[in-house]
Amino acid sequence: MPILAKEPDLYPENLFEDSIVTPQDEKWFAMYTLARHEKELMRQLREQKIAHYGPMVSQRKRSPQGRIRTSWVPLFTGYVFVRADEVGRHNAVSTGCISRCLPVTMAEELVTDLQKIRFMLINGTEARPEPKPVVGRTAVIKRGAMAGLKGTVTKVNNEHRLTVLVNFMQQGASVIVDEADVELL
C-alpha cells in the first residue's frame, strides 16, 4: 500500500492532445526545482491552473521494520515541465519551489518526447529512470500495449529494455520489453 496516494502528474488532462498547437503567447519551460519540491510545485501549479507535466513512477522499498512501502517519486528528479505565458511563468517561479527556469527552444521535440514517456508510463510495465543516454539499437515495438513506440533497445541481465530519451535533458526512461515484440530499425 502506498504511503500517499498517487497525485496527478499532468494538468490539464488533455495537455498533450492540444499542445502541438501551443498558443502564441505560451511557451514551454523546464522548471528545475529545489530538492524534493516537485510534488509541491505541481500542487501549486494545479491550484493556479498552470499547465504542467512531471512524470511520476512508483518505487517500492523495504522499511527497517521489514514492511514494503510504495511511494510515488519523480521520473526526472528535480524537473517539472510547464507550458505558460509570461504571467504563468512568473507565478510558477514565485511559488518558492523553483531553483532555475530553463526556456525550451525546441518545444515540438520536447512535447513529442514527453508524449512518448507518458504513453510508456500508462501502457508499459514498471519504468525506471535512465539518467544517461544508452548505447543500443534503434527499434520500434510492433505488438502489445506499447505498439508503435520507438526508442533504443539494450540487453541488460538477459532483459531487453526499451529506452525513450528526452533529448532536451539527455535523460530518459526504460521499460522491459519482450524481444519478440521488438523490430530493429
Q: For position 77, what pLDDT does the model report?
A: 95
Name the residue with cell 535533458. 169
Cβ burial, residue 123 (10 Å; 0-12/13-18/19+)? middle
Residues 177 and 162 sit within 8 Å (Cβ to Cβ):
yes
Q: For position 21, what pLDDT does the model report?
A: 60
Pick the CATH number of 128-184 from 1.10.10, 1.10.357, 2.40.50, 2.30.30: 2.30.30
Q: For position 132, what pLDDT does the model report?
A: 87
Average pLDDT, 10 consecutive residues per value, the chain (185 residues): 78 80 83 96 97 94 91 95 96 97 94 94 87 90 92 91 93 92 92
The domain 10-104 belongs to what CATH superfamily?
NusG, N-terminal domain (3.30.70.940)
Cβ burial, residue 129 (10 Å; 0-12/13-18/19+)? middle
Q: For position 19, what pLDDT does the model report?
A: 47
